A and B are shown apart, each in its own frame.
Chain A
Amino acid sequence: MDFALSSEVVEFRDEIRSIIREFVTPEIADRMHTTGVFDAPELNLELGRRGILERACPGLGKGDPIEMYVMFNELEKAGAPYDGLAVALMIAAVVNKLGTDEQKERIIPSIISGEALVCMGYSEADFGSDVASIKTRAIKDGDEWVINGSKMWTTLAQVAEWLILLTRTDLDLPKHKGLTMFILPMNTPGITVEPVHTLGTEITNATWYDDVRVGDDAVLGDENGGWRTMTTVLAFERGVMGGTNAGVPLLRHFHEWAVANGVFDEPTTRERMARSIIDMQVATLLTMRSAWIAASGGMPGLEGSMTKVFAVEAYQRASRWTQATAGPAGLLQFHEEGAAGEGFVEYDARHSPVMSIYGGTTEINRNNIAERHLGLPKSR
């Protein structure tokens, strides 16, 4: 095995690092927690302006396909707000893979320039893990589709330009087969957005669709092929677009605090820290493996499930022990005097539980591993 990035990728990484140094200021990190929007438009525009988004986007970029992993890993380790970028690039990649030429021309440039964000309408109030059972309907009416229903957890809907929307188009087909994915502008008439405030400060949304009318040009992938479009998106999400090294900035913040307060020499703390650092290495190696599989032309769906289960639980372990070790200081929030890790210890204890839920719960991922890797019978 070879673990060295090629010199071109090292150069790419160094460019990202210099952009991070310039654009990911404490003010920007602070803004994500006060606005609840995990996105930094100025950072996206700079990455777009320099051609980095195009280069990193799977299928589009001319660079080493491992660069997408490198970019998100750098952003995540730096504690940058990158959720908006991750979803947007994921969708750009899917449009590039499954979209028509017209869709590619119309949609992709707005994303890889760093201007447009995308939100995802999959889950509904009653259908989360069982997303194939969703009820939002799209019915053909002449040349148009009429969409009615509602979605939950439509994160970034309040700022996104595009929406991808999973709908039911055929009631007679089995549940996975009667679905169609659409991609449409968020300013299409009939869409309503209401905020949902969350424990981890991110503001997500509930969205409603009342007689939303779109043309065939809004169908992403095949009619009744929505499940395939969906799994293509998820294969990217569970793979390499961040979400696997969230403990790195936490450990850094905790360490600074513990040293400054003279409590870092405690052997228990040092050992826990060392073990969390092992976890972070393993998490990044598993992520790198997904990136390498994708770079070799494979689809790292199963490996993505494995990475996510491990990385998320490693982050949760790190969050648990750092807060427990900090004691009262671990309860204090951002900007409070004496807050452990400048408030990150408290924040990560609120943010980490979200990670084993969104983008596929750890249970769904374990089902996936049990069935597809271990060959055990379907349990549901």
Chain B
Amino acid sequence: MNYQELIKQTALADDRFVVMTAENRAVIRDLPAVLGHRFIDTGITEQTMIGMAAGLALRGRIPVCHALATFLIYRAYEFVRTDVGIAHLPVKLSSWIAGFLSDGNGPTHQAIEDVALMRGIPGMTVFCPADEQDMLAMLPEIWASPHPAYVRLNIRPSVIKHEPFKTGKAETISEGKDVTLLVYGMLFEQAFKAKEILEEQGLEVGLVNLRSLKPVDEETILKVAANSKLLVTIEDHFLTGGLYSIIAEIFLKNRTTANVLPFALNERWFRPGLLSEVLNYEGFTGPQIAAKISATLKEQNGVAAKPALLTANN
């Protein structure tokens, strides 16, 4: 099973589904022949595609829209907000190469404010699968929901076998009293490596795959915050508006706090290159994450909650 096979089966089983693309066919190449009129390629016209998707959804269709993340939701942002958001239509946005996955494309293609922008739209749901298997576990429920949805597509190979998915629930891989890593999307693999390294050092390490950023699993976040000396947020997103902001909001709402070490992009785009180069240059490989966590834990040395460390990842 892969993305194309899943969307094909879904659309063949339910003729409400329409597959749309603004000329990005990377993961849906074979569908025109299978879906006929229900495959609509609008050319390089993200605004028109989203507006049309709203029109189709108004008539009871479930459009699944494809384009590179930056164009799908930034070029067409006002169409997503105004046509899909205000009307609360079940338009499903499948974004390609979000976050670090744009590797060598450069800042024009770096969707690293997508979570912030999408979760800011009332009623919009936001999902970031860890890898292909995680994504395939998540999509059926996301597509079946009556809500608009934004999904960071991710077809990278899996490092673990994932649990079944439930909207608004995170996947807790492990719990640990020394440190808990909160991660979403393709950086799950690096977080998993960091966890293994830290465990070799004798630490008890928690790892949570967020999956659903909106709605977010507040209960799990509060639980691991209470049970770990250090929380680490790991995201290929600006520090503003993503997971770090989400947990800050949760803590404020619940009148609590934690020691938080954020891995994110603070007020800057990342240096383009092959993905492995990007991860290494930006300090997001498993060993780099582990090293920084180790150092932070030593420095922290059991000190109770204090203001978050904003200087990480520079």
A and B are interacting partners: no
Chain A residues in contact with chain B, CB under 8 A? none
Interface, chain B (partner A; CB < 8 A): none
